[in-house]
Amino acid sequence: MLDAEQLDAFGRDGQLTVPDLFSTEEIDRALEDLAQWDAEFRATLTDEECEWYLEDPSDPSSSFSKLDDPVFHRAAFRALAMAPALVEAVEQLIGEGVTLFFSQVFCKPPEVGGPKPVHQDNFYFAPSDTEALLTTWIALDAATEENGCLHYGLGSHREPVLVHTAPEGEPFNLQVPADVAKKYPMTPAPVPRGGVSIHHGNTLHQSEANRSDLPRRAVTFHFLRHDARLVNPALAYNPAHAVFIPSSRGDAEARS
């Protein structure tokens, strides 16, 4: 359960780090499941999927840079997303009764994992209520400034959803123009393995390249309160992959 100080910090900054939410065993199980998924998915990859998911699309043996919908596809990630401590924190911040509508694993392999430009998740997802969407980012490896932790524009959740553009040929790489982004200096948010960084859907954030010799793997869970919906999102999200999350107070209570 988040305490009053943590709730105040989230309200002020639009971001909160909870350093010790998951145990070593829970993260170990997720990484084992990820390794198995990597092997199974790699065996069936189409050219289009190589382009979308691999660090080097011309090399089918190169690392995945991301994987979509781990919570829908893999039991160990579903267990993380439904962990009572996480769900309770999410419901404290956006209200009771949530669906996980999208999740992603982000891998930054040592030395080659690239940066992610400044963006707001609410531009990608376009929720009907910007206060009804929350991202939780779980560190599967300790995330540091050297290996590419997230950086946040603290307080930027008070901005409206800003115009984003994408470089030619990279429609998925949406970002706010540099002159707008620079209004908000970016503060690094290192997260220990098993810790969680939680951010508001309007909070500007980015990550740097992995300059270390260690991997930086993380999983994001995107939650939406049940009374909201995605209105014309920037990319396509498969509604059949959404996962209902039982309320931390029990379903019957949350529905009443």
Contact call for residue 101 and ligand AKG (CB under 6 A):
no
Report the residue number, 200 or 225, with the smaller CB distance to ligand AKG. 200
Residue choice 71, 100, 218, 242 for contact with ligand AKG (CB under 6 A)? 218
Residue 203 beta carbon to ligand AKG: minimum distance, rounded to whole angstroms: 9
Nearest-CB residue to ligand AKG? 207
Report the residue number, 93 or 247, with the smaller CB distance to ligand AKG. 93
Tabulate helix, strand, coil % of the chain (nearest 5).
30, 25, 45
Nearest by Cα to 17 from 187, 191, 156, 178: 191
Strand partners, 220: 104, 137
Contact call for residue 147 and ligand AKG (CB under 6 A):
no
Residue choice 144, 220, 247, 248 for contact with ligand AKG (CB under 6 A)? 220
Name the amino acid, one letter, at 35. A
The footprint of ligand AKG on this chain (CB under 6 A) covers a number of residues equal to: 9
Nearest by Cα to 203 from 177, 184, 226, 182: 184
Residue choice 13, 69, 121, 159 for contact with ligand AKG (CB under 6 A)? 121
Report the residue number, 53 or 247, with the smaller CB distance to ligand AKG. 53
Residue choice 10, 64, 123, 137 for contact with ligand AKG (CB under 6 A)? 137
Strand partners, 191: 143
Residue 215 beta carbon to ligand AKG: minimum distance, rounded to whole angstroms: 12
Strand partners, 54: 64
Q: What is the 3 state secondary structure string of 61-99?
A: CCCECEEECHHHHCHHHHHHHCCHHHHHHHHHHHCCCEE
Overall size of the chain counted in residues: 256
Contact call for residue 122 and ligand AKG (CB under 6 A):
no
Residue 116 beta carbon to ligand AKG: minimum distance, rounded to whole angstroms: 4
C-beta separation of 237 from 73 below 8 A: no
Contact call for residue 200 and ligand AKG (CB under 6 A):
no
Which phi and psi (to 5°) does residue 232 adopt? 55, 60
Residues that bind ligand AKG (CB under 6 A): 106, 116, 121, 135, 137, 205, 207, 218, 220
